[in-house]
Structure 1
Amino acid sequence: MQLNEPPPGGFLVSEIWNLMHIKNLTKRIPPKNKPRSRPLPKASEKYLQAYERLKEILDQMEMKIEEYFHFKSTKHCLFDLHLIEYRVLIELADINMGRAKAWLKA
C-alpha cells in the first residue's frame, strides 16, 4: 500500500481517509456539504386567504399587478405583489412567518 492510496475497508473508511489526506495536504478543513440555512416556513391558511382577498380587490379596481416580484435577481428579496402603475411593493406577513415575528415584537 502506497501513501496516496486509501486503506482497505468500506466506503466510510475511504471517505474519512480522503478528508484527512486533503487536510494534511492543504492544512485546511474541506467545506461541509450540509446547507446551513433552514427551509422557509409554510404559509398559513390566514395568509393564503388574505393574499387571495387582496388579489380579488386589486383585480376589481383594475390595477396592474405582478405576483412574487424580484426587483433584483441577485438579492434574496421576494415581494408578494408589485403594483406596477404606482411602483409599490406589498409584502404580506403572517405573525408566525420568519422575520415578521421578530419585527412585530420590536
Structure 2
Amino acid sequence: LATMPSPRVVKTHLPAHILPKSFWENRCKMIYVGRNAKDVAVSYYHFDLMNKFQAHPGTWAQYLEEFMAGRVAYGSWYDHVRGYWERRKDHPILYLFYEDLKE
C-alpha cells in the first residue's frame, strides 16, 4: 500500500478486528457493504462445495447450522457485520446494504 499513489482504494473481506491498527489510527474512510445473512450463507456454501482446499461442507442443513454458529472458515457473519456497525460511530465508515444498492 505504501507504494500505491493516493488516493488508495483497498478491497478486503477482513473483519474489523483484523484490519491493521493504522486503518483506525489514520481514520481511513471506508465503505462497508453488508449483505443479507441468508445470501451470504448460500454463497459460502456453493463456494465451499467447489473449494477443494477444505473438507466437503456436508448437506445444506448441516452447513447452515455451522454458519449460524460461526463455525465456518470465514468466521462468524454476525461478528463481521457487527464489528463494522459498532465502529461506524467513531470512524468514517459509510455502512451500506447490498440489497439497498440493488434497488
TM over 0.5, shorter chain: no
Q: TM-score, normalised by structure 2?
A: 0.30
Which structure has the highest helix share of the two? 2
Q: TM-score, normalised by structure 1?
A: 0.29
Tell me: higher relative CO, structure 1 or 2? Use CA pairs within 8 A at least 6 residues apart: 2
